[in-house]
């Protein structure tokens, strides 16, 4: 008998970060996750996570809107439907609702987790099978203090946690940001790669000046220097400089990826399940990039363990991630809500094993950190 989706519960979970995390648009001291618990008529529960950065500072979805829209609009479209018909369920959500990609990603994750548990298979197997079980992970240096960032980088190297680093810039004048980045790269030398994320903070003229200086300083990759909708400007920057450009907010899904590739963009795409509405959508984007010869990077919206595990299952199916991943979200949080944290070692993270996502909730921790009202 085909199992039906019986109920969908959402919880807001607030977890403090280990230090302030400074970006161009906000500084985070806490991460709020929307945890989805999807229960089917056969007793199987699937877990999902919807997470964004800084409330509404990053994009059009906030944790509160993700929860409300799932509860009021998306969940009613799924309840009572066959739980194992993922393609039909994705089409149903797309037909009746617009946008809300983070919310849809959380629901798709929960559906895949439940189906994996039902079949006794990991999510990666549902996507065609893992090609790698240990994925490289960089660390973002975002304290805003140069000396502190250098110390933090050397500690991560010493612990064999990370050997590549990303710097969040764009909140300060361009010369000050360049000096900060250059000092860190000089201190690290050849021991580690350094890249930057501008988070759309510059206009194109400022980007030309800033990227020229960053290229001279030996920076390996420039992420989203200008606003997301300025595709033509991003293509011009990719042609102008030797240092590769990484498109992030500019490339949400396969259609964006096709448009950039057709326009002559070269460099890399940041993949994020939250941007693309889930694991299937992000893999569609990855396949467009591969066909166009564009590099891949496994990105994050600083998800906790559930969302990070979902992303890892998707990345593990890909043949190559030329620029690695940034799946460090759980390490940025002071605590966790799962029984067994992800295993980070040797400059990377292990793909979780077991059916579904391979993670189980710690009910006491979940109750402690869940928002009460």
Rounded-to-integer distance, Cα 289 and Cα 258, Å: 8
**Cβ(325)–Cβ(297) below 8 Å:** yes
Q: Note if 372 is an active site residue.
A: no
- How far apart CA 85 and CA 7 sit, in angstroms, is 16
Q: How far is residue 43's CA from residue 314's CA, in Å, rounded to a whole number?
A: 26
Name which of 267, 336, 271 is nearest 300 in CA terms: 271
Strands laid side by side in the 5-22 sheet: 5-22, 27-40, 45-51
Cβ burial of 324 (10 Å; 0-12, 13-18, 19+) is buried
Q: Is the dihedral of CA 339, 365, 69, 257 positive or negative?
A: negative
Residue 168 a catalytic site member: yes
Which H/E stretch holds residue 139?
Answer: strand 139-141
Catalytic site residue from 104, 117, 168, 185: 168
Q: How far is CA 228 from CA 235, 251, 256, 265, in A?
A: 12, 8, 11, 14
Catalytic residue among 61, 152, 303, 326: 326
Coil, strand or helix at 102: helix
Alpha-carbon separation of residue 274 from 27, 28, 185, 282, 291 (angstroms): 20, 19, 31, 8, 22
The two tokens of residue 229 are 């909708």
> Phi first, then psi: what are they for 37, rounded to 5°?
-120, 105
Short-list 38, 39, 40, CA closest to 48: 38
DSSP secondary structure letters along 172-184: S-HHHHHHHHHHH
Q: Which residues does the annotation mark as catalytic?
A: 168, 326
């Amino acid at each position: 008998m085909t199992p039906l989706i019986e109920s969908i519960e959402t919880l807001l979970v607030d977890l403090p970060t280990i230090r302030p995390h400074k970006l161009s648009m906000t500084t985070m001291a806490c991460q709020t996750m929307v945890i989805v618990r999807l229960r089917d008529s056969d007793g199987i529960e699937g877990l999902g996570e919807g997470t964004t950065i800084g409330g509404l500072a990053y994009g059009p979805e906030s944790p509160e809107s993700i929860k409300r829209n799932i509860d009021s609009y998306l969940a009613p479209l799924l309840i009572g439907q066959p739980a194992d018909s993922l393609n039909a369920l994705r089409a149903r959500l797309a037909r009746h609702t617009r946008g809300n990609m983070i919310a849809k990603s959380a629901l798709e994750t929960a559906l895949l987790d439940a189906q994996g548990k039902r079949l006794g298979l990991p999510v990666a197997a549902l996507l065609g099978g893992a090609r790698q079980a240990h994925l490289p992970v960089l660390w973002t240096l975002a304290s805003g203090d140069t000396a502190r960032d250098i110390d933090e980088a050397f500690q991560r190297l010493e612990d064999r946690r990370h050997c590549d680093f990303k710097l969040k810039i764009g909140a300060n004048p361009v010369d000050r940001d360049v000096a900060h980045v250059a000092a860190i790269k000089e201190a690290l030398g050849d021991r580690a790669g350094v890249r930057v994320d501008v988070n759309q903070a510059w206009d194109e003229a400022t980007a030309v000046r800033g990227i020229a200086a960053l290229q001279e300083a030996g920076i390996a990759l420039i992420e989203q220097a200008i606003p997301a909708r300025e595709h033509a400007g991003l293509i011009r920057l990719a042609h102008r400089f030797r240092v590769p450009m990484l498109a992030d907010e500019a490339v949400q899904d396969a259609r964006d990826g096709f448009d950039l590739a057709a326009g002559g963009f070269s460099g890399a795409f940041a993949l994020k399940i939250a941007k693309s509405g889930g694991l299937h959508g992000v893999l569609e984007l990855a396949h467009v990039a591969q066909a166009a010869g564009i590099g891949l990077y496994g990105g994050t919206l600083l998800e906790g363990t559930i969302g990070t595990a979902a992303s890892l299952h998707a990345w593990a199916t890909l043949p190559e991630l030329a620029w690695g991943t940034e799946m460090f979200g759980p390490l940025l949080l002071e605590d966790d809500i799962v029984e067994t944290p992800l295993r980070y070692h040797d400059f990377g993270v292990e793909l979780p094993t077991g059916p579904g996502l391979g993670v189980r909730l710690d009910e006491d921790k979940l109750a402690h950190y869940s928002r009460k009202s």
